[in-house]
Structure 1
Amino acid sequence: MTGLEGVPMTTDSTPTIVDSDGHIIESIEEMAEFLDPPIRDTALGTGGIGTIIELSKTSLFGTLDGLHFTNVVPSDNATARRERINASGHRMGSAQDWQALLDKSGMAETVVYTTEGLQVGKLRNRDYVVGLCRGYNDYVADCYQRYDSRIHPIALIPMQDPVRAALELRRAVKELGLLGAMLPSTGLDLHLGHEYYWPVYQEASDLGCILAVHGGSNVGIGIDSFTSLTTSGIVHHPVPLLYAFVSFIYDGVFERFPDMRVAFLEGGCAWVALALDRIQRAAEFSGAPPRPAEEYLAGGNILIGCEGVDPTLPYLAGRVGIEPFAYSSDYPHEVDFKSAMDEIEETVNDDGLSDDQKAAVLGGNAKRFYRL
């Protein structure tokens, strides 16, 4: 079955599709309505320093890093040079655009993360980030979740202040009905396994909600001298996920909070093989983790986002089981509507996975993990 301009669509024979990691693209003008007055003035450039900082008119979170908005022309050997096909004529990444994608693709549901807020960990003024996260959460609950119940936005919380982050997490889950919160993979002063952040993990465990470490900025991971978004992207998406996973294990987070559910998103799944091998090797010389790393992955409380057919996935499925791995569209970032549909089709046709494994990756695992 085909849809928009020949894009392959899901059919009755295709497993239920649940997107574990899509993205909204924020409208700062829409979001301003939900912000406290000082931050609203910054958003709209109508008061104080907001009138002279032009960047504030397009971003409340600052820039992601020094590369993401400077590489506007793909290299000559890039494969994705065709004209982009979005899901609709609506603003890209809007609730209306996502609703159209769900209708046209046959996806059952999507879990959507921020675009602007991927760099939230870089912010330093605690009062500002507390107010900004609160306004963002009100915005996505009202303009996305309430617009279409199939769209599930994930909250932002001010991890710079764990006590207030825990309070905002509780509000986002209990009052707004959001599924949980994103943890920035870079930008914070301490690694995510540090005990400083444990009040957030305790709250997430008490609430039974998810937390998700999401790749974003390239700051602070040793590649500041890279000048190409391509070379940076190879590293800066998966490597911080590896950092977080290792720190959660060795700092005792998974032992202290055994019921906490954590997703690791936008880094593919190949980094997991590296983590398992290095942890096993380290155990021979400097001490084993509390449990074999494979047990954490197989326990049902960890989700790893996979973007299309990942050559490493069949190997990992054999090593730890298929349960941790879930399809992520990443729409409308690196992929457009056609690419997202192509990746689903590729997974359906992957000879390296059984039908049950395909069904789990394409929808079952995300549905279970997010409790949809």
Structure 2
Amino acid sequence: MTARRTSKSAEIRAQLDHPVIDADGHWLEPVPVFLDFLDSSAGPAMVDRFRENKKREDIWYGLTAEERMARRLRRPTWWGEPANTLDRATAMAPGLMYDRLDEFGVDFAVVYTTLGLVQGSLPDDELRQAVCRALNTMNAELFAPYADRLTPVAAIPMFTPGEAIAELNHAVGELGMKAIMIANHVRRPLSSDTDTDTDTDGETGGYYPSGGYYVDPLALESPYDYDPFWQACVDAKVAVTSHSSSMGWEGRASVNNFTFNHVGHFAGASHVFAKALVLGGVLQRFPKLRFGMLEGGVAWACNLLADMIGHWEKRNERAMLANLSPDNLDTRELANLLKRYGGAAYTGKIDEIVAGPSTLKPFYSSGVLTARDRDTGQPIDDFLASGVRSASDLRQLFAERLFFGCEADDPTAAWAYRGKNRLNPMFSSDIGHFDVIDMSGVLEEAYELVDDGELSEDDFKSFTFSNAARLHAALNPDFFNGAVVESAVSEVLAEN
């Protein structure tokens, strides 16, 4: 056992009147150990498939600069783990992580996979499922001796509801794991009858995807019905947390520049998922379910909430019919105004303009534009499935159902506490990954928000303790039973 070291973070923790929960730490699975578990659960052939797949991930390095550009092949993550030897060992050994928690100023940590962040989304069905099964078996076993202060998170594959439910039942029902992580989207190939080679500057007007795949956000317009999975999460008493990348999506696909691809990518994936949860009605249909969106911060959610309120005010059905329906136009008055103010350029064009008055859709009458969008089989109100009937409904959904992981160095975490739209940021250390240079400094860095007057002490309590407790204990009040924070969490639940 390493000698316990003092730190500024430990001093800060000693002054707090509440525990600290790290909502998103990471461990770096030692691959030789993982492969033993994969071999045991899926056999040596699957180990070979895993090895071969990892080699394929590095094809970028075998290409010339010209070949990379020609193929637009994105550079894989590089130098993404701490080179500080003690911190690297800490991320690789649950016992050492446990031993250093006091130094970090952390009472309890929810520990996420690193391997599973990518391997849980492999397109190879058998390999994806086998990797998640082996990861969960390994993590449940290796973290079991430290359950009073560390809990590992199960990796749930999400390509189909069936595979997701199967691994959920195994991880929670058989292994006894209490927290889960999903990929909040699946990149699916466009169907074979879709012409992915269409000239998007020609035949389709640039409106259709051309990359050969689309992003399925699971909760809206998915080819699968994920409601059975959401219900299974309710039955299993687990919050749904997501930790997903949007690197490689359009706009995040630099061939060489990792920073270009990485900045904002967690927020980008969560932005899509959160919109889908609201507009697809998942939050409406499963009112007990809570969702955690990790490592993207909360600033994007503040913006999304404001933007969705603005869209609801302009595009709910009543507002659409009153203000935007094309047949509301008084074409006679429109013609008179254009004749009066149009000038010479409009001479002889007024009747043609009025016959097709839309700039966006210029060759259709107002009546046709009105009728065709009423006859699509889709509701006029984009918010119909959401159950949202007011701006306050949207605020309530965000404030009660969604939680947001913020790293210690994220000053925008304070935005969640400003004004009437208070959200739920959670202190998320991200130890184990490149952006944490010194594990012992994360709480110290987070507390700068208090020192700088951005957060009150009460705000800091909710940020570093209460919000994470409420996320995981909302469906499972026993989540923290036996943990060092059990009594403090009970007090939080009693207050709510």
Check 1:231–1:206 CA distance in 2 against 1; reply closer, same or farther (3 A cut).
same
Check 1:145–1:321 CA distance in 2 against 1; reply closer, same or farther (3 A cut).
farther
Do the aligned residues in 1 keep the contact of 2:405 with 2:428 (CA within 8 Å)? yes
Amino acid at match of 1:105: F
Instruction: String of CA shifts for 1:260-312, please: whole Å, max 9, x gaps.
Output: 1110001011101220122122213322553332111222x321111125443
Match of 2:103 in 1: 104
Match of 1:314 in 2: 414
Q: Which protein is bigger by CA-based radius of gyration?
A: 2
Tell me the distance in 1 between the aligned counterparts of 2:75 and 2:178.
31
Tell me the distance in 1 between the aligned counterparts of 2:421 and 2:286.
22
1:107-126 → structure 2 map (5 Å cutoff): 107-120=106-119, 122-126=121-125
Match of 1:361 in 2: 463
Do the aligned residues in 1 keep the contact of 2:24 with 2:111 (CA within 8 Å)? yes
Aligned pairs, number: 351
Match of 1:305 in 2: 405
Match of 2:283 in 1: 254
Tell me the distance in 2 between the aligned counterparts of 1:259 and 1:50.
38
Match of 2:300 in 1: 271
Tell me the distance in 1 between the aligned counterparts of 2:90 and 2:263.
28
Amino acid at match of 2:471: F
Q: Following TM superposition, by how much is the alpha carbon of 1:244 offset from its aligned partner in structure 2, in angstroms?
A: 0.3
Match of 1:282 in 2: 311
Tell me the distance in 1 between the aligned counterparts of 2:31 and 2:146.
18
Match of 1:78 in 2: none
Query: 3-state SS of the aligned residue for 1:340?
Result: helix
Amino acid at match of 2:465: G
Check 1:254–1:172 CA distance in 2 against 1; reply closer, same or farther (3 A cut).
same
Tell me the distance in 2 between the aligned counterparts of 1:33 and 1:58.
21
Match of 1:24 in 2: 27
Gaps of 5+ in 1: 60-64, 74-82
Calculate percent identity across the aligned residue pairs: 26
Match of 2:15 in 1: 13
Do the aligned residues in 1 keep the contact of 2:135 with 2:155 (CA within 8 Å)? yes
Amino acid at match of 1:278: D
Match of 1:211 in 2: 240
Match of 1:328 in 2: 428
Match of 1:79 in 2: none
Check 1:33–1:146 CA distance in 2 against 1; reply closer, same or farther (3 A cut).
farther
Q: Following TM superposition, by how much is the alpha carbon of 1:211 offset from its aligned partner in structure 2, in angstroms?
A: 1.1
Verify: 1:145 aligned to 2:148, yes or no: no
Q: Following TM superposition, by how much is the alpha carbon of 1:316 offset from its aligned partner in structure 2, in angstroms?
A: 2.4
Match of 1:76 in 2: none
Q: Following TM superposition, by how much is the alpha carbon of 1:313 offset from its aligned partner in structure 2, in angstroms?
A: 3.4
Tell me the distance in 1 between the aligned counterparts of 2:50 and 2:244.
29
Instruction: String of CA shifts for 1:312-335, please: whole Å, max 9, x gaps.
Output: 333322345656111000001120
Verify: 1:351 aligned to 2:448, yes or no: no
CA RMSD for the aligned pairs? 3.0
Moved more, 178-187 or 111-120: 178-187
Match of 1:135 in 2: 134
Instruction: String of CA shifts for 1:120-145, please: whole Å, max 9, x gaps.
Output: 45312223222221111111000123
Tell me the distance in 2 between the aligned counterparts of 1:124 and 1:161.
12
Check 1:120–1:211 CA distance in 2 against 1; reply closer, same or farther (3 A cut).
farther
Q: Following TM superposition, by how much is the alpha carbon of 1:70 offset from its aligned partner in structure 2, in angstroms?
A: 3.7
Match of 2:160 in 1: 161
Match of 2:36 in 1: 33
Amino acid at match of 1:285: K
Amino acid at match of 1:212: T
Query: 3-state SS of the aligned residue for 1:154?
Result: strand
Check 1:6–1:312 CA distance in 2 against 1; reply closer, same or farther (3 A cut).
closer
Do the aligned residues in 1 keep the contact of 2:121 with 2:157 (CA within 8 Å)? no
Check 1:279–1:179 CA distance in 2 against 1; reply closer, same or farther (3 A cut).
same
Query: 3-state SS of the aligned residue for 1:360?
Result: helix
Match of 1:62 in 2: none
Check 1:352–1:38 CA distance in 2 against 1; reply closer, same or farther (3 A cut).
closer
Match of 2:209 in 1: none
Tell me the distance in 2 between the aligned counterparts of 1:89 and 1:229.
22
TM-score w.r.t. the length of structure 2 is 0.64
Check 1:38–1:258 CA distance in 2 against 1; reply closer, same or farther (3 A cut).
closer
Do the aligned residues in 1 keep the contact of 2:91 with 2:432 (CA within 8 Å)? yes
Check 1:86–1:210 CA distance in 2 against 1; reply closer, same or farther (3 A cut).
farther
Check 1:86–1:297 CA distance in 2 against 1; reply closer, same or farther (3 A cut).
farther
Q: Following TM superposition, by how much is the alpha carbon of 1:20 offset from its aligned partner in structure 2, in angstroms?
A: 0.3
Do the aligned residues in 2 keep the contact of 1:269 with 1:306 (CA within 8 Å)? yes
Tell me the distance in 2 between the aligned counterparts of 1:142 and 1:57.
30
Gaps of 5+ in 2: 59-72, 189-215, 317-382, 474-479, 481-496
Which is helix-richer, 1 or 2? Answer: 2
Tell me the distance in 1 between the aligned counterparts of 2:276 and 2:404.
16
Amino acid at match of 2:217: H
Tell me the distance in 2 between the aligned counterparts of 1:321 and 1:356.
17
Tell me the distance in 2 between the aligned counterparts of 1:85 and 1:55.
25
Do the aligned residues in 2 keep the contact of 1:221 with 1:240 (CA within 8 Å)? no
Match of 1:220 in 2: 249
Q: Following TM superposition, by how much is the alpha carbon of 1:216 offset from its aligned partner in structure 2, in angstroms?
A: 3.0
